Amino acid sequence: MSDDAQPILRLALPSPLRRLFDYRAPAGIAAARLQPGMRLRVPFGRREVIGVLVEKVAHSEVPADKLKAALELLDPRPPIPPALFRLCLWTAQYYQHSLGDTLSWALPVLLRQGEPAEARQERFWHLAEDARLDDPRLTRAPRQREALKALAQHPHGVPHALLSKLELNKDSLDLLREKGLVRIEVRRHAQTPPPTHWLAQPELPLNAEQRTALEAVRAGFGRFGAFLLAGVTGSGKTEVYLQLIRETLEAGKQALVLIPEINLGPQTLERFSRRFNARIALLHSAVNDRERLDAWLAARDGEADIVIGTRSALFTPLQRPGLIIVDEEHDASYKQQEGLRYHARDLALVRAQQEGMPIVLGSATPSLESLHNAHAGRYALLRLNHRAGGAQAPRFLRLDVKSRPLDSGISPPLQQAIAQTLAAGQQVLVFLNRRGFAPTLLCHDCGWVSGCSRCDARMTLHQRSNELRCHHCGHVERRPASCPQCGHVDLRPVGAGTERAEERLAILFPDHPVLRVDRDSTSRKDAMANLFATIQRGEPCILVGTQMLAKGHHFPRVTLVAILDADGGLFSADFRASERMAQLIVQVAGRAGRAEEPGRVIIQSHLADHPLLVQLTEQGYFAFAEQALAERRAAGLPPFAHLALLRAEAHKPGQAEGFLDDACGLAEQLLAEQRLYGVELLGPVPAPMERRAGRYRAQLLLQANARAPLHRVLGQLLPSLENLPGGRAVRWSLDVDPIDL
Ligand code: ADP
Ligand code: ZN
Ligand code: ZN
């Protein structure tokens, strides 16, 4: 029996399959009422899932008797605004990801679970209009009288959730309500009116460079335009953001600010909330699901003026989009490395274009991609070349540690420099991008090393916890007392991590506090805040840490920055390693001398005369970047080429490569059939670390000089990969524009 009058609903479901699923409208609901973006509960296999209506069509390929009806419509109106829906469609298409799964990543988890997509309703307790505190019925009920009096202190009512916090007795209030002295009103949750003055704090008068930058962006308000704000550390980029945001708010629009994960220190957030009276919605990993949905709804309904968050905040809908800022645009945390492998900075550009607003990408060390876009005229380049507020740029010293004795990674000249700085009453920052005590434990008798049983990697020694830990798969073992291979007890830590540097520095400088900042030391909730409090007090001390220390922080008393080991970035096989090293060095160096006293930076390296290092330290990041771009161009690497990486992993050796061989064959066939030129297939090859967490991994790289043919072939390749028989035993994923190979 066919039912031609009723259109078929095509839904995106939370499934990795790159297709939509067809259903009939739920019983009793006219299909005409259903609009794209609405959520429906549907039967899916043996489960029920929540899907999003994408379109209504006249016919389905599914036979009518197999077509199931949706069970329930969850929304009276589409919760996902059209602009966000369009962005998700673009994202799914570009990253070759299923739309349903894309929506799962993009939407707050409670929305995916079917929570109403309306601002939360809340009960407020109020005094009745005609209630009198001396009501005669209360003469013998002192507790009710107290409760009434207490409630009278709150002319706007008391939210139900706050009753106990305000020591309001619920039973008394119930009794008062029966007497008609108290009433309950249901209101939208936390609806605060927009402030009358946006500024809570006066603005700094901008210097000439800042003003030029501000005016360039402001002239572009109301339409798309991309700006690369390249300003040295401490040049006042944040001040420019703040003033642009104020202009945006004054224009009646909302601003979206993306910050890297690592910058979520209280310092950054405080700076925004101190400046503005605005309603700020925060979206980051520490926010719980309910808060996340509330923030999302507030932004969508125009009740948040500023949205600040990490990567996924990009998908926050804005009722009145005005401006996007991506701070530290070069930061790797903008790229999601699992599931939907999107780059929030790149998508932010797409979004700004789709919604017609300016976007500002800011960094002291712009990515080569963004610099290339600026050179090509796609972004307007705005430079801030001087530190604001008169602080001087730090001086660099490359310290050759070839054949020098290293004491837990610290050379004698560095020790002297640290001693000098402390003696002058200043602070020292020691940077080492390696957690733990030592990256390897070695048997001095037989040469056994602490390999991970599940990975092609060494286990790191963590002395404090007396453990060996694999930083790749999380595997943990107790530290062996003797060699597992020969039984001897002479096991020696090789190399130094932050724990070891900390221990050594504490012995070398017993009169000064040594504070370690890395993922191990800051896992406790307030650790970071306490640490910053100590640093801000300003007494001489030594900070030892990983890149958590590198970014965004303002440490006015730090005048010496020491980079213990710059060699990794010069040796690595990954073509982006030198770019990352340069960014890290400049960012860490930027912590030095941010106030009156000038700062210096000591870089220890076995390759102190390496041309890249020389150029970076003598001519600065931009000279380095031009050189690096020239090399990328010559080698045909991004941003002069476009990459997509197909990864596969399996429990048995050879399986992943077998699957990728088939994929490669399919891709070759597609390229030939369609006469697509300029797409190269490289591989399959074993991944750089072939075995990780017990799985064997391989990869196939697709490299193209233009995006169009690459995306054409990917668009057809992926659906067929879903059907490859070899695919059952492997886990595979596609990474478009991968940032690590
Ligand atoms: P960035 O974001 O580029 O690292 P910030 O905006 O944090 O730089 O500014 C660095 C320091 O300079 C801060 O202490 C800030 O208050 C100060 N500053 C910024 N702009 C000005 C200005 N126009 N006049 C005086 N001080 C400024
Ligand atoms: Zn041994
Ligand atoms: Zn491991």
Residue 193's pLDDT band, with cuts at 50, 70 and 90, is confident
* CB of 587 closer than 6 angstroms to any ligand 1 atom: no
Give residue 100's pLDDT: 95
The ligand with the least distance to the CA atom of 490 is 2
Give residue 409's pLDDT: 85
Residue 5's pLDDT band, with cuts at 50, 70 and 90, is low
* CB of 389 closer than 6 angstroms to any ligand 1 atom: yes
What 3-state class would DSSP assign to 703? strand
| Across 537-552, average pLDDT | 83
The ligand with the least distance to the CA atom of 454 is 3
Give ipTM to 2 decimals.
Answer: 0.97
- Rounded mean pLDDT of the chain? 90
Residue with CA nearest ligand 1 atom 26: 389
| Across 632-661, average pLDDT | 94
From the centroid of its chain, how far is CA 460?
26
Higher pLDDT, 727 or 357: 357
- β strands within 401-466, DSSP E: 427-431, 440-443, 460-462
Residues 6 or more apart whose Cβ sits within 8 Å of residue 208: none
Give residue 551's pLDDT: 65
The answer, yes or no, to whether the previous bond of 611 is cis (omega within 30 of 0) is: no
Higher pLDDT, 352 or 388: 352
Least confident of 327-341, 578-592, 648-662: 578-592
Angstrom distances, CA of residue 542 to CA of 391, 531, 565: 21, 12, 17
In the predicted model, is pLDDT for residue 415 greater than 60? yes
Would you tell me how many other CB atoms lie within 10 Å of the CB of residue 185? 10
Taking only the tens place, the pLDDT of each residue in 250-270 is: 999 999 999 998 766 666 778
The ligand with the least distance to the CA atom of 492 is 2
Q: What is the Å distance from ligand 1's center to 255 Cα?
A: 20
Give residue 1's pLDDT: 41
Q: Which atom of ligand 1 is the closest one to the Cα of 590? A: 4
Ligand 1 mutation target, pool 238, 245, 591, 621, most atoms within 8 A of CB: 238
Taking only the tens place, the pLDDT of each residue in 469-510 is: 999 999 999 999 999 999 999 999 998 999 999 999 999 999
Residue with CA nearest ligand 1 atom 11: 234
Give residue 2's pLDDT: 44
* CB of 210 closer than 6 angstroms to any ligand 1 atom: yes
Q: Model-level pTM?
A: 0.88
Q: What is the Å distance from ligand 1's center to 247 Cα?
A: 18
Residue with CA nearest ligand 1 atom 5: 236
The ligand with the least distance to the CA atom of 208 is 1
* CB of 234 closer than 6 angstroms to any ligand 1 atom: yes
* CB of 553 closer than 6 angstroms to any ligand 1 atom: no
Complete edge-to-edge strand list for the sheet that includes strand 558-563: 395-400, 600-605, 558-563, 427-431, 542-545, 514-517
* CB of 220 closer than 6 angstroms to any ligand 1 atom: no
In the predicted model, is pLDDT for residue 430 greater than 70? yes
| Across 192-213, average pLDDT | 89
Q: Residue 102 half-sphere exposure, CB side, CA atoms within 13 Å?
A: 27
- Hey, which residues does 442 pair with through a beta bridge? 449, 492
